[in-house]
Amino acid sequence: MPLQYAGLIMASWIWSRGDVSMLGKIGLALTIANVGGVGINTAHELGHKKESVERWLSKITLAQTAYGHFYIEHNRGHHVRVATPEDPASARLGESFYRFWPRTVWGGLASAWRLEKARLARMGKRPWTMRNDVVNAWAMTVVLFGALIAVFGPGIAPYLLVQAVFGFTMLEVINYLEHYGLRRQKTPSGRYERCAPRHSWNSNSIASNILLYHLQRHSDHHANPTRRYQALRHFDEAPQLPAGYSVMTRLVFVPPLWRRVMDKRVIAHYGGDASLANIQPGQYARYGVTPSGESTGVAP
């Protein structure tokens, strides 16, 4: 966290200088965005912990990317609805990243607000209060950006915006690949089955695991959200990505290549029955499935 914010402050100073080209400033904004994206992963680790100090540090870390609502939506939304059509952070089979991005960004924000509004209503409180964790998280971003603009001038505002948007986009790239096409089935009672290792894509790539706090051991994280990253386990029975996140995040931006690599793995995971996957509406025919969710018997 200290290194993350030291980098942001140094970048703000460089953005304010007149002897640096616009191209150089944009390049720096994208670099800082990548740092902020890794910072979201730091916040993810801290936000799952029970200690209040770590939870506050999580929101402080998220302030740089203006994504403080992730603290609410991920813990109380995504972990409840993961690998279901109702989860905005679970990508669907046949859904490109460019269709997923607006759905998850807006859906996550709306979900976080609903969750906090409902929590405060049970306490007899209205949502527009600093006790709302979405509001106080957004306030941290306002204070941070306001302080930087006051010190370094309004000219840095566009670069702050660029690094924030690209920073949280890096998070959504990770969200896209972690559960792509995977779906929890409903039990006879109508409820979704318990989340299991088979509902998350995993990778045991050493380099990416070190950089991202073992985030690639995602199945164990969903089974034990408060378990610290050092203790997360690898499951051989979980569906495996063909490469680590550092490679797979590049494929995400080229949908035809992504589908060529991943769609067959999703279908193979379900024994060739694509009807068991979480399919993007409008893409059923591509995978030999009717809109009602039944297999047509036609191989995709």
pLDDT tens digits, one per residue of 94-110: 999 999 999 999 999 99
DSSP-assigned letter for residue 78: I
Query: What pLDDT sits at residue 62?
Result: 95
- Closest to 69 in 3D by CA, of 100, 106, 42: 106
> Any residues with CB less than 8 A from the CB of 8 and at least 6 apart, and which?
32, 35, 36, 64, 148, 163
**Structure tokens, 255:** 């949908």
**Mean pLDDT, the chain, integer:** 90
Instruction: Among 9-18, 34-43, 81-90, name the one with the lowest average pLDDT.
Output: 34-43
> Any residues with CB less than 8 A from the CB of 77 and at least 6 apart, and which?
87, 89, 108, 111, 112, 115
How many CB atoms sit inside 10 A of residue 17's CB?
11
Query: What pLDDT sits at residue 66?
Result: 94
HSE, CB side, 13 Å, CA atoms: give it for residue 273: 8
Give me the mean pLDDT over the 19-42 stretch.
93
Whether residue 5 has pLDDT greater than 60: yes
DSSP-assigned letter for residue 247: H
Whether residue 190 has pLDDT greater than 80: yes
Question: Higher model confidence: residue 228 or residue 244?
Answer: 244
Query: What pLDDT sits at residue 43?
Result: 86
Query: What pLDDT sits at residue 134?
Result: 93
pLDDT band at 92 (very low <50, low <70, confident <90, very high): very high
Q: What is the pLDDT of residues 44-83, one digit of tens each?
A: 888 888 888 988 999 999 999 999 999 899 889 988 999 9
Report which residue type is found at 120.
L
Query: What pLDDT sits at residue 164?
Result: 97
- Based on DSSP, count helices (H) and strands (E) in the chain, helices before strands: 12, 0
Residues 75/59, Cβ–Cβ less than 8 Å: no
The span from the CA of 60 to the CA of 213, in Å, is 18
The span from the CA of 257 to the CA of 259, in Å, is 5
The span from the CA of 190 to the CA of 182, in Å, is 18
Q: What is the pLDDT of residues 138-187, one digit of tens each?
A: 999 999 999 999 999 999 999 999 999 999 999 999 999 999 999 999 99
Query: What pLDDT sits at residue 292?
Result: 66
Q: What pTM did the predictor assign?
A: 0.90
Whether residue 297 has pLDDT greater than 90: no
Q: What is the pLDDT of residues 237-287, one digit of tens each?
A: 788 899 888 899 999 999 999 999 999 999 999 999 999 999 999 999 999
